[in-house]
Amino acid sequence: MRFLDKLKTKDIQFGIIGLGYVGLPLAVEVAKVGISVTGIEIDKEKVRRINEGINYIGDIKDDDLKHVVEKGLLHATLDFSVIQDMDVISICVPTPLNKLKDPDMSFITSALEEIVKHIHKNLVIILESTTYPGTTREYMLPKLEESGLKCGKDFYLAFSPERVDPGNPQYHTKNTPKVLGGVTDICTEHANAVYTQIFDSIVPVSSAEAAEMAKLLENTFRMINIGLVNELAIMCDRLGVDVWEVIDAAATKPFGFMKFYPGPGLGGHCIPIDPHYLSWKMKTLNYKTKFIDLAAEVNTSMPEYVVQTLMEGLNMHSKALRNSNILLLGMAYKNDIDDLRESPAFDVFKSLEQRGATVAYHDPYCPRFAWNGAYVESLPLDKELLKSMDAVVITTAHKSIDYQFIVDNSQLIIDSRNATKGLRNIEGKVLRMGGGRTLDE
């Protein structure tokens, strides 16, 4: 049987390096179609939990993970030598930015070093980690060919970006169309032969670079438009206009407009980070990305704008921020998930502490988080807690929270998410970011 024909069957061995928010959902979906999956991790605890069928990712159903583990279709290991037995390797490792906001390639580099040790003929290698255009061809390909094997002949290399939206009830790993681009046409063909068995829809493009750029466009588009409405919120506060009303009114246009809402900043692994990959790459080509840089400047200023709004609200109540008790409502970067990555609530938390406030938080999805070498615990939300606070700042609008209860029992609320819209008894209590900059009365 030709190797390409073998890839079109379920009689293949599929390896995934990295079992986090991207890798583990992919592993479960691959196993659910009957393909044997080996997850390769450096975290001993993750390996233990997976092999015991214990889930740690919110977007995966506990029963789905347990089922594929019990059937022997998924297991995890710390041993990278299993790559020599794989037909396919998918790389799903983190790609953060360093302090200078340049790409940190260390996780991809470490994965490549292990792959090169165990690479063999007919191995299909697919990078899923988001990174800058050219990574697959310019960075990965030379390192892999140091093995003496040739791409497109001895092994096959492609890029297929993850498009996970944590907490999305409609779109998940399997039914989100999968963009795929190989270093060569035959690389695309081989990767496509595998992924068509797993995903509902494949979107082949002409090159790895096109696939890399498509992913960056998706998140740069969102980042720039969020920056636009964040600046609009600031403008509306100065104009005495409700930005939330303006956006909803504009959204009644049945064409040419897409709704975005302001907030306390950007969060998640993708939108705050991915555009910087493109910005960094273009700097190497002597080009400055004007839209990206400006939107980033606006978005990163929003946590401080929330703090300034809080200070204004406290001032209206004849109070200072220093020595005030402040409760942050929500630490996750968006509603109804437990994902804390890049959450702007941390920037608000840090700024308040630096100004001498005593800061606590409540988040039903995030029971605790690490802070300055210790853990901060989520406090139970009750009347006593709310009445003891000088102000409540809504940083994440979890749907499970009773905001009328918050309004009824709080002295002052800074609402950065419009969660209090339409509620009773907000007079003299609620200052909505982008709501016209005056305390509701």
Name the residues annotated as catalytic. 270
Instruction: Work out whether the CA dihedral 297, 166, 56, 15 comes out positive or negative.
Output: negative
Q: What angle do CA 130, 131, 135 make, to 5 degrees?
A: 125
Q: Which of 349, 393, 392 is nearest to 370 (CA)?
A: 349
Distances (CA, A) of 66 to 32, 45, 384: 11, 16, 41
**Tokens 């200072």, residue?**
320
Return the number of other C-beta atoms located less than 10 Å from residue 157's C-beta: 25
**Residues 116/86, Cβ–Cβ less than 8 Å:** no
The tokens describing 340, both together, are: 């804390």
> Any idea what DSSP says for residue 254?
S
Residue 332 is classified by DSSP as S
What does DSSP assign to residue 140? I
Answer whether 37's CB lies under 8 Å from 16's CB: yes
Contact of 64 with 97, CB cutoff 8 Å: no
8 Å CB contact between 182 and 157: yes
Indicate the pairing of strand 155-159 with strand 74-77: unpaired
Reduced to 3 states, what is the DSSP secondary structure of residue 326? Answer: strand
Radius of gyration of the chain (CA): 24
Sequence-ordered list of residues with C-beta below 8 angstroms from that of 360, at least 6 positions apart, any chain: 325, 326, 327, 328, 376, 379, 385, 389
The answer to whether residues 125 and 156 touch, using CB atoms and an 8 Å cutoff, is: yes
User: 326 - beta bridge partners?
Assistant: 359, 391
Task: Check: CB of residue 241 under 8 Å from CB of residue 284.
Answer: no
CA-closest candidate to residue 198, choices 181, 231, 173, 218? 173
Backbone angles phi, psi at 169, to 5 degrees: -75, -15
Residue 226's nearest CA partner among 180, 183, 177, 261 is 261
